[in-house]
């Protein structure tokens, strides 16, 4: 028998009320039944294997959403009760949905009263979830046409995934994954009433759920990443597109200037400050610093305080430009705004001749140039730690886990491992592991100091690729091969194969060029490596061929954060 609810005016049930109850009940049943990995695979057909596991680790299914339009609070409560749902307290304003609906129907935002309720339900494993109910309340009937159109089109119905431990890198990685599998940007916004940021996507045509929209929800203010998302979903004039691309160099220099001035150290994510006060701290002209701050706000590094124009606070992205921040990218900003910026001015020379622009600018390759300048070398080594999120979450790879669990422990050999960022993390996470770091002499000394207590379980070998030590159980080449051309890579891999015992594993960390023409960080880094080192990024198939030429075989590869992958190889 169909459950009905009374209409406030006549006391009789109405088809709209009946339909809302059925829709609420269906949404609740859907939410109760879903497992996150299965649902993600249905939402994004083609998402499977390691990439599915990586995405499942970073987000979880949280709710299904729909919009209802009762005339008042009493009817809403009755509808929820009839659907077996209990409201979670007072409805809160829904700024994002209100603004979307107002724009669609040519209404002022103040004309629509849209609120959110999230009645709680539980998933198959007891997970706490919700049905997100958008409530367009219309006691006077002035929004009847809006309500009817929205109910018929069901535009606000969507599935939502909550992002675990959101930060800009995780959000950009998840967003890239959705786009890579056919989803398209479809708006979003920041809700100050609950301090949360939403990213909407139109589901791919091939999606295997009845929902056509998907939401990523991130706790906190992530308007810097949101700006990129909203720009990605907007049609623009070709000239505007080109102008935005042509000004990319200005962004590089603005970020480098921000880091050089130590502006992030003078700012706070919690308290806004004006340009004059900041100028006194960093030693700058107030009016010029204000211009820089406005630009940095546009690209999401700082945010102008609402209601206090001319005052600025740091965003999460801006915090990473502090030298003392976990995962700091300050050194990287100074490298990209300094020597690498100058070498890119020689890109035409590189494309025409094949000689790296860095060598044309400085007269020598970048490794030799940095080795002769201790300060620059130290900055470069620090810049390499900016990609530390690639190594999270530890234990990083099943091969390492297996080595750590083996009786008597095993040895990991990190070849050209820099100052030991990866090796230090592995040794800290796995006390049974021993390590060997192969590097140049000045880098080895820096690594000893950086590794601290775990240096007791690490041997340090000074040398180059011809000195790969034998007898290890796991060998690692992390972001090394992309520095070199194919012939040099074959030589490096042959040295590894010669040193590796028959049962040893070789793990290679690199970004992989996509097999299909899809947006990828690897495509950008391919240009960077060509111009600065003469190296290149490669597809998995290209690495397989290089490995085969060195007597090794590619066993498989798994995704890591920041669009990196770890490839596993063994001797034939």
Point out the residues that are catalytic.
Answer: 482
Residue spans of alpha helices (H) in 320-420: 330-337, 339-344, 347-353, 357-362, 366-371, 374-384, 398-405
Q: What share of the chain is helix, strand, coil (3-state, %, to 5)?
A: 45, 20, 35
Tokens of 160: 């939502």
Question: Is the Cβ–Cβ distance between 547 and 493 less than 8 Å?
Answer: yes
Give the pairing of strands 411-415 and 311-314: unpaired
**How far from chain centre, in Å, is Cα 138?**
40
Give me the sheet containing 302-304, strands edge to edge.
Answer: 273-274, 311-314, 302-304
Two tokens at 10? Answer: 């006549």
Q: What is the DSSP letter of 156?
A: T
| Residue 524: alpha-carbon gap to chain centroid | 16
- Buried residues in 391-430 as b, exposed as e (16+ CB within 10 A): beeebbbebbeebbeeeeebbbbbbbbbbbbbbbbbbebb
Polymer length in residues for the chain: 572
Query: What is the C-alpha separation between 64 and 87, in angstroms, rounded?
Result: 15
Match 């706790």 to its residue by tokens.
219
Token pair in block for residue 315: 């965003």
Strand 411-415 to 434-439 pairing: parallel
Sign of the dihedral defined by the CA atoms of residues 553, 554, 556, 560, in that order: positive
Beta-bridge partners for 458:
435
Distance CA 2, CA 25 (A): 12
**Taking a C-beta distance cutoff of 8 angstroms, is the pair 361, 343 a contact?**
yes
């Amino acid at each position: 028998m169909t459950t009905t609810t009374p209409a406030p005016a006549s006391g009789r049930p109405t088809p709209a009320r009946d339909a809302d109850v059925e829709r609420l009940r269906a949404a609740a049943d859907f939410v109760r039944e879903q497992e996150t990995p299965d649902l993600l695979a249905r939402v994004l057909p083609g998402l499977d294997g390691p990439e599915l596991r990586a995405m499942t680790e970073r987000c979880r299914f949280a709710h299904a959403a729909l919009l209802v339009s009762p005339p008042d609070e009493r009817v809403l409560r009755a509808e929820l009760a009839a659907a077996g749902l209990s409201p979670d307290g007072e409805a809160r304003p829904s700024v994002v949905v209100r603004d979307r609906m107002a724009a669609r129907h040519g209404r002022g935002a103040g004309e629509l009263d849209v609120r959110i309720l999230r009645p709680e339900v539980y998933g198959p494993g007891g997970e706490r979830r919700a049905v997100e109910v958008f409530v367009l309340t219309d006691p006077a009937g002035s929004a009847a046409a809006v309500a009817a159109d929205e109910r018929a089109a069901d535009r606000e119905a969507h599935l939502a995934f909550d992002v675990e431990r959101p930060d800009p890198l995780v959000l950009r990685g998840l967003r890239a994954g959705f786009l890579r599998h056919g989803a398209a940007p479809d708006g979003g916004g920041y809700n100050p009433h609950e301090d949360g940021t939403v990213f909407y996507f139109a589901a791919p045509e091939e999606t295997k759920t009845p929902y056509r929209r998907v939401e990523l929800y991130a706790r906190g203010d992530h308007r810097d990443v949101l700006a990129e998302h909203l720009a990605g979903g907007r049609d623009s004039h070709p000239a505007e597109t080109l102008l935005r691309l042509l000004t990319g160099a200005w962004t590089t220099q603005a970020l480098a200037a921000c880091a050089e001035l130590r502006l992030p150290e003078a700012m706070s994510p919690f308290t806004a400050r004006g340009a004059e006060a900041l100028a006194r701290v960093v030693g700058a002209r107030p009016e010029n610093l204000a211009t820089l701050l406005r630009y940095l706000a546009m690209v999401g590094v700082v945010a102008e305080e609402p209601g206090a124009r001319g005052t600025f606070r740091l965003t999460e992205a801006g915090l990473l430009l502090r030298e003392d921040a976990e995962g700091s990218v300050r050194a990287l900003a100074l490298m990209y705004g300094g020597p690498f910026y100058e070498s890119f001015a020689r890109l035409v020379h590189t494309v025409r001749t094949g000689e790296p622009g860095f060598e044309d600018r400085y007269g020598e390759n970048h490794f030799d140039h940095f080795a002769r300048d201790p300060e620059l070398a130290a900055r470069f080594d620090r810049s390499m730690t900016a990609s530390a999120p690639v190594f999270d979450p530890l234990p990083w790879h099943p091969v390492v886990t297996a080595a750590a669990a083996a009786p008597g422990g095993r040895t990991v050999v990190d070849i050209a491992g820099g100052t030991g960022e990866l090796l230090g993390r592995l040794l800290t996470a796995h006390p049974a592991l021993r390590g060997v770091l192969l590097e140049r002499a000045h880098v080895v000394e820096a690594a000893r100091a950086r590794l601290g207590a775990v240096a007791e379980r690490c041997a340090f070998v000074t040398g180059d690729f011809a000195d790969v030590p034998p007898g290890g159980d796991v060998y690692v080449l992390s972001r090394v091969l992309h520095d070199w051309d194919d012939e040099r890579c074959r030589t490096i891999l042959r040295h590894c194969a010669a040193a590796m015992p028959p049962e040893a594993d070789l793990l290679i960390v690199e970004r992989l060029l996509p097999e299909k023409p899809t947006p990828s960080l690897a495509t950008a880094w391919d240009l960077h490596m060509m111009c600065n080192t003469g190296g290149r990024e490669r597809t998995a198939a290209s690495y397989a061929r290089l490995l085969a030429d060195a007597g090794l075989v590619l066993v498989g590869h798994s995704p890591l954060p920041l669009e990196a992958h770890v490839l596993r190889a063994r001797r034939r």
